[in-house]
Amino acid sequence: MTTKTLIKVIWYALLALLILLMLAPIAWMISTSFKPETEIATIDVNWIPRNFTTENYERVFERFAILRWTLNSLIVSSAATALVLLLDSLAGYALARMHFAGRSVIFGIILSMLFVPMQITVVPLFLMFAEVDLTDTYLALVLPVGANVTGVFLMRQFFLNIPYELEDAARVDGASTLRIWWSVVLPLAKPALTAVAIVTFLSTWNSFFWPLIATRTDASRTLPVGIAQFMSLRPGQAQGAQAYGQAMAGAVIAALPPIIVFYMLQRYFIEGISMTGIKG
């Protein structure tokens, strides 16, 4: 009885410590973002700002196109997700349910690209898009996402496991293959489509390396690339404090929407991630 209680007390103490360690940095980010410059550069820890101000946010909106970056990120991530769902469910269906010459060779070549790091494609991609003058456009950010491998793999795996009878029934009714894919197979594939959609949207939303290279102006700059600019506000230690208030305000603006969406949809998030993590 007493050891059991003791274990429980220790467990809850550790739980509290864990929650604190994981969430305190985020709380501190929010707290700093509402402080004036003078209150930031001190060794006094005020979790609640003593001189509450929204000045940092006003400055951020004034000096940076942060809303434009967010809009760019939304457009690019949505377009990339739609593209991936369309291409991968078509290709995955063919690879899983149809017989044709070269199927395993094609699938093998697609899968082999899993081992090729995307960094190797970045220099050629940049030169290709520069050649046709399409760097710094949405197209340059969206199209390479359409070439992803995990989505095709996941869709194929899913299609392998749906029963043939449903397709056969539709075929007897005279439906075309495209029609069967659209109105029989896709509705069944909702779990896989959801997982692929979430993972594609998230990875595009968070993608940094390629957008950093491909974008030049606010017209196409995505949120992660924009946020990185806040650190260039930090020329030396002396000016640091002034910059951190604005940097934290920018970080809060970028961080809150995903956190809120995550708290609302956390089950789908975690399912999507464990599904692709294990199988990809």
Partner 1 sequence: MRVIPRPRAGATAGESSHLYSRWTPYLFLLPYLLVFLAFRLGPSLFGLAMSFTRWSIVGSPEWIGTANYDLMQIDPRLEVALKNTAFFTGLTVPLLVILSLALAIFLNQPHKGRALGRIAAFTPYVLMSTVVGVLWTWLLEKDFGLVNVYLEQLGIAGQPWLVSQDVAMYGIILTTIWWTVGYGMVLFLAGLQDIPAELYEAARIDGASSWRLLRHITLPLLAPTTFVVLMLTIINSFQVFDQVYVMTSGGPGTATLTLVQYIYTTAFQNLRMGYGAAIATLLFAILIVFALVQAYLYRRGVTGTASQ
- Write out the binding residues for partner 1, residues 239-268 only, by CB under 8 A: 240-241, 244, 247-248, 250-251, 254-255, 258-259, 262-263, 266
Q: Which is nearer to partner 1, 71 or 86 (CB)?
A: 86
Q: Which is nearer to partner 1, 62 or 131 (CB)?
A: 131
Rounded distance between C-alpha atoms, residue 230 and residue 76, angstroms: 22
Return the residue matching tokens 């699938």.
107
**CB of residue 219 to partner 1, shortest distance in Å:** 19
- Write out the binding residues for partner 1, residues 36-65 only, by CB under 8 A: 40-43, 45
Q: Pick from 1, 3, 99, 161: which binds partner 1 (CB under 8 A)?
A: 99
Is 159 within 8 Å of 185 (Cβ atoms)?
A: yes
Task: Please name which of 210, 207, 220, 212 lies closest in space to residue 122, comparing C-alpha atoms.
Answer: 210
Q: Which is nearer to partner 1, 115 or 235 (CB)?
A: 115
- Write out the binding residues for partner 1, residues 192-231 only, by CB under 8 A: 205-206, 208-209, 212-213, 223-225, 227-228, 230-231
Rg (C-alpha) for the chain, rounded Å, is 24
- Write out the binding residues for partner 1, residues 137-176 only, by CB under 8 A: 143-144, 146-149, 152, 171-176
Q: Pick from 38, 54, 183, 274: which binds partner 1 (CB under 8 A)?
A: 274
Contacts of 253 (CB under 8 A, 6+ apart): 57, 60, 66, 70
- How far does Cα 204 stand from its chain's mean position? 5
Q: Where are the alpha helices (DSSP H) in the chain?
A: 2-33, 37-40, 55-63, 66-97, 103-112, 119-131, 138-146, 150-160, 164-172, 177-180, 186-188, 190-206, 209-214, 223-228, 240-279
- Write out the binding residues for partner 1, residues 4-43 only, by CB under 8 A: 8, 11-12, 14-15, 18-19, 21-26, 28-29, 32, 40-43
3-state secondary structure of 134: coil
**CB of residue 23 to partner 1, shortest distance in Å:** 5
Q: Pick from 2, 5, 217, 237: which binds partner 1 (CB under 8 A)?
A: 237
Is 255 within 8 Å of 29 (Cβ atoms)?
A: yes
Counting Cα atoms < 13 Å in the Cβ hemisphere of 151 gives 25
Rounded distance between C-alpha atoms, residue 113 and residue 116, angstroms: 5
Q: Does the protein bind partner 1 through residue 122 (CB under 8 A)?
A: yes
- Give the interface segment with partner 1, choosing from 50-58, 60-68, 92-100, 183-191 (CB under 8 A): 92-100
Q: Pick from 2, 62, 115, 133: which binds partner 1 (CB under 8 A)?
A: 115
User: Applying CB under 8 A, what is the total number of residues that bind partner 1?
Assistant: 103
Q: Pick from 178, 187, 190, 239: which binds partner 1 (CB under 8 A)?
A: 178
